[in-house]
Amino acid sequence: MNDGDCIFCKIVAGELPAERVDEDGHTIAFMDINPWTRGHALVIPREHSRNLYEVGEDDLGHVAVASKRLARRMRDRFGCHGVNLLNSCEPAAWQTVFHFHVHVIPRFRDDPLRLPGSPLKAEAAELAAVAAELRD
């Protein structure tokens, strides 16, 4: 089921323009209109889902495979030195478009991207308490 108000569903349907770079039966990939580095692209499932909480496991797998394919092509065509995959889930995590997508961002040794935070120090007891909350 696709969502009539969703801009990425409109791209899937061909109702909004996009620079498509890859497609298969379950996914499409296209250039991000506001790239963080040269070549920054997005991979999305054709089927609408809001984000990581909602995406079907099959679509999640297809997007992962398509992201790998695109990352290797970026390495081969752009000669980039690395790639970041990024997914944001909900506004608190910076999600702005509510159709599941993975950013595939080519990285170059001299590019301007920097991590937006720095790792915190944590006591062993705190790590153990958090781990206990997460375990089944």
29: helix, strand or coil: strand
> Residue 33 or 128: which CB sits closer to Zn ion?
33
DSSP-derived pairing of the beta strands 27-31 and 41-45: antiparallel
Specify the long-range contacts of residues 14-22, CB closer than 8 Å, at least 24 apart: 21/70, 22/66, 22/69, 22/70, 22/73
According to CB under 6 A, which residues from 63 to 122 bind ligand AMP?
A: 88, 94-97
Given ligand AMP, Zn ion, none, residue 95, with its beta carbon under 5 to 8 Å by kind, binds ligand AMP
Distance CA 35, CA 31 (A): 8
* Phi, psi (degrees; rounded to nearest 5) at 24: -140, -170
* Phi, psi (degrees; rounded to nearest 5) at 64: -65, -45
101 is an active site residue? yes
Q: How far is the CB of 41 from ligand AMP (least distance, A)?
A: 9
Binding mask 39-68 for ligand AMP (x = CB under 6 A): ---x--------------------------
Q: Which residue is nearest to Zn ion (CB)?
A: 6
Given Zn ion, ligand AMP, none, residue 100, with its beta carbon under 5 to 8 Å by kind, binds none
Q: How far is the CB of 48 from ligand AMP (least distance, A)?
A: 14
Catalytic residue ranges:
101
